[in-house]
Amino acid sequence: MIRVAVIGAKGRMGSSVVQAVNAADDMTLSHTIDHEQDLAQIDSGNTDIAVEFTVPTSSLGNVLTLVGQGVDVVVGTTGWDESKLEQVRHALAEAPRDGQAVFIAPNFAISAVLADHFAAQAARYFESVEVLEMHHPDKVDAPSGTAVHTAQAIAAARREAGLGPMPDGTLSDGGSRGQVIDGVHVHAVRLRGLNAHEEILLGNAGEQLVIRADSFDRGSFMQGVLLAVRALVSGGYPGLNVGLDTFLSL
């Protein structure tokens, strides 16, 4: 049995992870930790891996503490930048066990990660591409980090294929043409009843391809979380890895 500690266990994501671990035949909960509870009780003697879904201001500190205590970590909390990632690499280089691992995924939904990948594959074949992301109205950032990543991947694929700017005769957009990221228009809809949805529209003269990913609820992230837990425990991913595509053989 894989012994899993959940950090942020009372939160929306953390409580879903607790349920997913309880439902998995090959996993057992070692600790459930929430705000102001001590991570010191978690070590490599009682825990194989920790899953961390807290808040951006706490996540780095939690990860560094756990790595220092010999525990591998799967992280879903957002807000990572290069300087934080560098601190994790440094901690791993000095970790007490050989081959220790940290995995960070900005998005654990397999459908979203695949949509991103397929959009980048398709982008070179189309004259026009636009990204539409649609979320519940409580989301604090717009456009979503996933949509930004999708736009950047599309732009990179277009550059590699030698494609120029997309056709757009708009003279004055009045703010309705979305945010332009690397030359790709990204539109954000906020609507009660939605959860997390992304559409990539790719157009040529006379044809359109639509790639769409829908996360209907937090269950959509759990397959990715458990995939990461099993992959890290297998020992195949030492050091720091970022992005669920690490495990998807794409």
Question: Residue 146 Cβ, how far from ligand NAP at the closest point, in Å?
Answer: 9
84 is catalytic: no
The CB-of-129 to ligand NAP minimum distance in angstroms stands at 24
Q: 106 or 201: whose CB is closer to ligand NAP?
A: 106
Task: Identify any residues that bridge with 187 across adjacent strands, giving them in sequence order.
Answer: 132
Residues making contact with ligand NAP (CB under 6 A):
7-8, 10-14, 33-35, 53-56, 58, 62, 76-78, 105-108, 221
Closer by beta carbon to ligand NAP, 180 or else 191: 191
Least separation in angstroms between residue 111's CB and ligand NAP is 11
Strand 101-104 relative to strand 239-242: parallel, antiparallel, unpaired?
parallel
- Closer residue to ligand NAP in complex, CB, 150/201: 150
Do residues 1 and 26 lie in contact, with contact meaning Cβ atoms separated by under 8 Å?
A: yes
135 is catalytic: yes
How far apart are alpha carbons 71 and 61 in whole angstroms?
Answer: 14
Nearer to ligand NAP, 100 or 144 (CB): 144
Q: Which residue is nearest to ligand NAP (CB)?
A: 11
Residue by residue, DSSP assigns 76-142 as: ------HHHHHHHHHHHHT-SSTT-EEEE-S---HHHHHHHHHHHHHHTT-SEEEEEEEE-TT--SS
Catalytic residue among 135, 149, 187, 197: 135
Question: Which entry of 10, 31, 136, 139 is annotated as an active-site residue?
Answer: 139
C-alpha span between 27 and 150 (Å, rounded) = 33
Min dist. Cβ of residue 3 to ligand NAP (A): 18
3-state secondary structure at position 239: strand
Catalytic residues: 135, 139
